[in-house]
Chain A
Amino acid sequence: MNKAIFYILGLLLFIGCQPTSFEQAVKKGFDNYLDTAAVRYQYIMLIPNSGCTGCISDAEYFFKEYNDHEEILFIFTRVISKKDLRIRLGKDNLQRKNVLIDNDNKFYFEKFQESIYPIVAVIKDKKVVALKDHVFLREKYPPKD
């Protein structure tokens, strides 16, 4: 009986610790990553690959304009073709230190609808303090053209 209670409590604890929302999943994923990151980022922009050939999203345009701003970490997730990404966004741009290609889709949370959209995390002291729509950064980093 004690064993059964122990296992049930353990299971409940495990279930309770699973993210129940996209925001929770993203925060947990980013916090874990930032713990081991050497650089102090101010923002993370998470860009899921749309898979639409020829499509270049607003987030990707932003990346093309501001990838040299090292306070922003750009994470590309759910990448259908790395070569296609390289051709679209530039090989050199993708090799920058503040760019991460999420090969294992650690930051793609398929069970949440919001996963298909880009998102921006505001970072303070290596912790996510807010999640914003990807256009949030345009206030500080306006379009160059």
Chain B
Amino acid sequence: MKKIIFLSAIIFCISCNKETVKNEQWNKVENRCTIELKAKVDIPIDDETSALIPYMQYFDENTVTDMLLTLNTHNNSIYFFDYARKEFIKKIMYEKEGNNGVGEIQGFNYLNPDSIFVYNYWGMTIYLTNDRSVVNWKRRLPMDGFNRAEFMPAYPWLQTNSPMIYLDKELVFGGFMGAETTAQTITNSPVTTIYDFQKDTIFFANNYPEQYIKYNWGGGFFKMPYFDVNKDKKNVIVSFPQDHNIYVYSLDSREQRKFYAGSSMIPEIKAFDQKKELKTQLDDNRTKRWFFSTPSYRNIIYDKYRDLYYRLFCLPLKEGNDKWQPLGLIVLDGNFNYVGEGLLPEDVNLRYSNSFVSKEGLNIQVMTDNDDLMTFYQFKVDIHE
């Protein structure tokens, strides 16, 4: 009998030590909002453009309003659309080689017709160009001097929800650490790169939180963080997929604060069940299966029109639909207080990586059977006082 009790106690202890990140605020916050689908936007795209767009930027500043810019990697062009009128305006085609060559564009940041930054991932190079695809200057990010064994900053990786953003003479990038390694520490794996192109200096911020040091999260894109900026407050806001909080980094004070931004539908996130090693070998199929059966967080987006923050999250794949995960939305106010959350439509494939905010609300791309349209759903958030 004593042996049975002892064995049960051991089994109990082992099961309690699961590698997991608990949501400490689970069911402790009040949901004060509803999320409504308000409209569908269909924009015709040409024969050279598919709806699988890797990078887009919504631009609504100064005298230029409601403009959507998209990257076409097939012809190395930036397309301009009038989002309100749902029409194509023009495209800028870039040379890959030569004096005005920019290589293959991975992402860009449009400021005005004379200032369009484009980024080439393989060359880690930024080009300042204009809308006639002329290169004004180019700068390679000074990332080479670091001892990668001791300091492992994430190389910038650009997609719509991990963009390149110009802010006050600096360019802000996000990236991720591909490896799962015991060499990673709480201070040697930052994900935000801040580049001062006038001084040619680089600064890193926002290390992976401690659960990424302790546990294995499948490596690669499975632990890719997302970010946005609040230009007025000069903050970079980072969302890690396996963290119930967001991290707000001030470009002025260079300090970071943490705020709860979790979902009541995610009580905990269990890590991948493999111990980390110096060079961890990962089974692609197993990590993929684990990732899609585990909840995780995605984009963080600032809504400058309503002074709100939106954070997307994915729930595990449901039986009967192994193609896309249920998607939800968390809403925070301008001071990062939790306001509420809700699930988004599950009967459509929401390509959440392409999301942005316009005057009408939150726009998320939808994949449809019509290859000649770029389609978005527009959502509006109502907050109950």
Contacts and interface: CB of A to CB of B under 8 A. Distances in A.
A110 B322 CA distance: 11
Contacts of B48: 87
B371 A54 contact: no
B284 A83 contact: no
Contacts of A87: 47-50, 74
A116 interface: yes
Report the interface size class on chain A.
10 to 19
B50 A83 contact: yes
A80 B52 contact: yes
A26 to B, nearest CB: 16
Contacts of A54: 54, 73, 104, 106
A96 to B, nearest CB: 19
A28 interface: no
A17 B119 CA distance: 53
Q: Which secondary structure characterizes the binding site on chain B?
A: loop
Interface string B349-385: 0000000000000000000000110000000000000
A80 B54 CA distance: 14
Interface string B101-137: 0001010000000000000000000000000000000
A88 B74 contact: yes
Interface in A40-73: 51, 53-54
A53 B284 contact: no
Contacts of A81: 50-52, 371
Nearest to A111: B285
Interface centre among A80, A81, A87 (most CB of B within 10 A): A87
A143 B283 CA distance: 30
A53 B285 contact: no
Contacts of A51: 52
Contacts of B372: 83
A81 B51 CA distance: 8
A51 B51 CA distance: 12
Contact of B371 (A82, A88, A110): A82
A83 B45 CA distance: 11
Contacts of B73: 53-54
Given A113-B284, A113-B285, A116-B284, A53 B371 contact: no
B53 interface: yes
A83 B51 contact: yes
Interface string A59-103: 000000000000000000000111110011000000000000000
A112 to B, nearest CB: 9
B50 A84 contact: yes
A84 B137 CA distance: 32
Interface of B: 47-54, 73-74, 104, 106, 283-285, 322, 371-372
9 contacts: A53-B52, A54-B54, A80-B52, A81-B52, A81-B371, A87-B50, A113-B283, A113-B284, A116-B285
Interface of A: 51, 53-54, 80-84, 87-88, 110, 113, 116
Lowest 5 CB-CB distances: which A-B pairs, in order? Answer: A83-B371, A84-B50, A113-B285, A54-B73, A53-B54
Given A83-B50, A83-B371, A113-B283, 19 more contacts: A51-B52, A53-B52, A53-B73, A54-B54, A54-B73, A54-B104, A54-B106, A81-B50, A81-B52, A81-B371, A82-B371, A84-B50, A87-B48, A87-B49, A87-B74, A88-B74, A113-B284, A113-B285, A116-B285
